[in-house]
Amino acid sequence: MGNNGKSIVEEKDHVVIKFAGDSGDGMQFTGIRFSETSAMMGNEVSTLPDYPAEIRAPKGTIGGVSGFQIHIGSDHIETPGDYADVLVAMNPAALKANLRWVKKGGTIIVDIDTFTPQNLKKAGFDENPLKDGLTREYQIIQAPITTLTKEATKDLNIDHKTALQARNMFALGIVYWLFHRDLQYTINFFKQKFKNKPELAELNKRVLEAGYNYAHNIELSRTYIIKRAKLEPGTYRYINGNTATAWGLLAAAEKTGLQLYLGSYPITPASEILQEIAARKDLGAIAFQAEDEIAGVVTSIGASFAGKLAATSTSGPGLALKSEAINLAVMLELPLVIIDVQRGGPSTGLPTKPEQADLLQALWGRNGESPVAVLAASTPSNCFRYAYMAAKIALEHMIPVILLTDGFLANGSRPWKIPSLDELPDIKPPIVKEGELEKYYPYERIPGTYVRRWAIAGTPGYEHVIGGLEKKQVTGEVSYDPENHEKMVIERENKLKEIQKDIPPLEVDGPDEGELLVVGWGGTYGHINTAVHELRKEGYTVSHAHFHYINPLPANTEQVLSKFKKILIAEMNRGQFFRYLRSEFPQFDYRKYTKVQGIPFTVSELKQAIKKNLED
């Protein structure tokens, strides 16, 4: 670790850093390096990338700004943070786009070389903001990053353009110095990544060190030490929600001994799930990139019939397209996991932004009475657990399960204590083995569970045909009988309800009775929980219950809700869970706090909303 010379060293519980620059400036890469180093140095970390919808949006413009925000600290880091303590702005547009998200008094590092009149104009500044009042409100480090990057690399045998691509490492070096980070993790990473191009490893290392040394030399008045978090012992890794989701499915496959089949079609922000599984041919997983979403889910249904752990992944518009076929799986009563990484809607909407507005679609967006299980993950890393649980429920209850995540979880990263497969609950699908049954009736239900048995195509003796028409109880033959239809509708409903027995009760964070319960579901967990914790620290009495199991709801839901005078439901839509809960348990005093802006809640706005509801 460097020597920070004469500057004051301040110890902090947590701090938020944002790297911002042009799409081509490598801000995601930079952010991830900083996060990893921090995690390895013992901090809790939560990160969120934020990039434009265009592949390469016009350089130097606000629309082209790509960002990466990191929250590090000693404990309870559940969100990437509302406002930044430190902003790195690689050009004027990055400054313009992010200024409102920097805390007053915070530190801003800019590449002063980019503050040309031309660039300022592109960014929409009428005049140079650095000459302006800005310097009074923030601590601004005006580093000639471009110049010094050139300088630092001029003796390397590397072309100009390539050398300048390492500018981001100069900025990272400054930030490393500011936070007393060890350069070694990053340098090792370069060595590994550029195994076959040592000159690039050297380039990046040089520039990183140059930035670090620059910060050292300009003698910043203040640097920071972030306390280590009290983490459970174990081996950790960094993981984002999409990878965690993919891996959760892979884990379920290994645990059951079934091969994983994912039929999918790329769509932002879900494509990575497909990509992660496509990369796992080493584990025998099959990733089929279908011609469209419908083929994605339908091939999965075929694969399920043939005995695979079948899944499909998509985002909102894709879920809409899959709805007819999901209904086929409802009728066939085959296991199927459907992952919906929610994004801003309706229609194409805001394709790279998170939202929670697919809930009602997941619950009811199919023709007829069509019960499917619905789960929601709430942190990037617990996507692993809920993907695993989705597979478990699908396989054990012979039912389609929709797992809702969102763009925030999908792209957000968290350090994650690597679980061992032994810790994960067993999965016992009702597969019938050759010779086990005298006669196989496809729709005979296992007593006490409503689950039918799974005779996998290819098993001798159980040949049978199933289909989307209503079928006779037990035998599964086509039946148009009125009473039979109603009975089957109810059997499918009951089968769903039975899942309640297998899911954990709803937990309350905070007192389990009182004035106000804040309710959330899915990806808002971190923000809500932080808000509630902070308010409790401030002396307010408020609790938080977060739903991961949405259909069926946990068995104790009504009881938990009944203990509070008011229930505030916070969600990133116009009140869908609010509507759902109210239609289930109309007797309670629900309020809603909603936001549909394609960006997560801020902790501060949540705190305000909670306080307001505590008051009236």
Ligand X SMILES: Cc1ncc(C[n+]2csc(CCOP(=O)(O)OP(=O)(O)O)c2C)c(N)n1
The residues binding ligand X (CB under 6 A) are: 265-267, 293, 317-318, 321, 348
- Paired strand residues for 569: 519, 592
430 binds a second copy (CB under 8 A): no
- Residue 123 sits at the vertex; the CA angle it makes with 121 and 128, to the nearest 5 degrees, is 60
Q: Identify the sign of the CA torsion 299, 303, 305, 309.
A: negative
Q: Which of 173, 345, 380, 429 binds a second copy (CB under 8 A)?
A: 345
Identify what 353 binds: ligand X, ligand SF4, a second copy, none; CB under 5 to 8 Å per kind: a second copy
Pick the closest to residue 49 from 323, 371, 365, 410 (CA basis): 410
Q: Put the strands of the sheet holding 44-50 in their side by side order.
A: 139-143, 102-111, 84-89, 14-22, 65-73, 44-50, 413-417
Matching residue, tokens 């989705």? 390
Q: Which of 59, 103, 485, 536 binds a second copy (CB under 8 A)?
A: 485
Contacts (CB under 8 A) with other proteins, residues 204-263: 231-238, 247, 250-251, 254, 259, 261, 263
For ligand X, give the closer residue by CB, 272 or 293: 293
Contacts (CB under 8 A) with other proteins, residues 263-282: 263, 265-268, 271, 274-275, 278-282
565 binds a second copy (CB under 8 A): no
CB of 276 to other proteins, least distance (A): 10
Binding mask of the shown chain, residues 116 to 155, with x at each position contacting ligand SF4 by CB under 6 A? ----------------------------------------
For the beta carbon of residue 99, count every other beta carbon within 10 angstroms.
Answer: 16
CB of 526 to other proteins, least distance (A): 20
For ligand X, give the closer residue by CB, 293 or 571: 293
Q: What whole-number distance in Å separates Cα of residue 222 and Cα of residue 179?
A: 10
For ligand X, give the closer residue by CB, 211 or 266: 266
For ligand X, give the closer residue by CB, 341 or 363: 341
Q: Per residue in 394-413, is it b (16+ CB within 10 Å) or e — as a string?
A: bbbbbbbbbbbbbbbbbbbb
443: DSSP letter = B
Alpha-carbon 609 to chain mean position: 24
Among 306-314, 549-557, 559-567, 603-611, which window interacts with other proteins (CB under 8 A)? 306-314
Q: Per residue in 522-538, is it b (16+ CB within 10 Å) or e — as a string?
A: bbbbbbbbbbbbbbbee
For the beta carbon of residue 6, count every other beta carbon within 10 angstroms.
Answer: 7
Contacts (CB under 8 A) with a second copy, residues 20-49: none
CB-based contacts of 492: which residues, under 8 Å, 6+ apart?
A: 330, 333, 369, 371
Contacts (CB under 8 A) with a second copy, residues 281-340: 315-317, 319-321, 323-324, 327-328, 330-331
Contacts (CB under 8 A) with other proteins, residues 148-207: 189
Q: Which of 335, 351, 415, 554 binds a second copy (CB under 8 A)?
A: 351
How many Cα atoms occupy the beta-carbon half-sphere of 197 within 13 Å?
A: 12
Q: What whole-number distance in Å separates Cα of residue 551 and Cα of residue 567?
A: 19
Binding mask of the shown chain, residues 48 to 87, with x at each position contacting ligand SF4 by CB under 6 A? -------xx-------------------------------
- Residue 525 sits at the vertex; the CA angle it makes with 569 and 346, to the nearest 5 degrees, is 65
Q: What is the DSSP string of 389-425?
A: HHHHHHHHHTSEEEEEEEHHHHH-EEEEEPPPGGGSP
Matching residue, tokens 């430190």? 86
Identify what 587 binds: other proteins, ligand SF4, a second copy, none; CB under 5 to 8 Å per kind: a second copy
CB of 416 to a second copy, least distance (A): 29
Position 525: which residue type? Y
Is there a cis peptide before residue 354, judged by omega within 30 degrees of 0?
Answer: no
- Paired strand residues for 571: 594
CB of 268 to ligand X, least distance (A): 6
Identify what 238 binds: ligand X, ligand SF4, other proteins, none; CB under 5 to 8 Å per kind: other proteins
For ligand SF4, give the closer residue by CB, 55 or 465: 55
For the beta carbon of residue 44, count every other beta carbon within 10 angstroms.
Answer: 22
Among 104-112, 417-425, 485-493, 524-532, which window interacts with other proteins (CB under 8 A)? 417-425
Among 174-182, 237-245, 343-351, 601-609, which window interacts with a second copy (CB under 8 A)? 343-351
For a second copy, give the closer residue by CB, 64 or 173: 64
Binding mask of the shown chain, residues 212 to 251, with x at each position contacting a second copy by CB under 8 A? ----------------------------------------
**Residue 605, both tokens:** 């706005």
CB of 25 to ligand SF4, least distance (A): 16
Q: Which residues bind a second copy (CB under 8 A)?
A: 52-53, 63, 315-317, 319-321, 323-324, 327-328, 330-331, 342, 344-353, 355, 357-358, 360-361, 363-370, 467-470, 480, 482-483, 485-486, 489, 493, 573-574, 576, 579-580, 582-583, 586-587, 595-599
**Which residues contact ligand SF4 (rule: CB under 6 A)?**
55-56
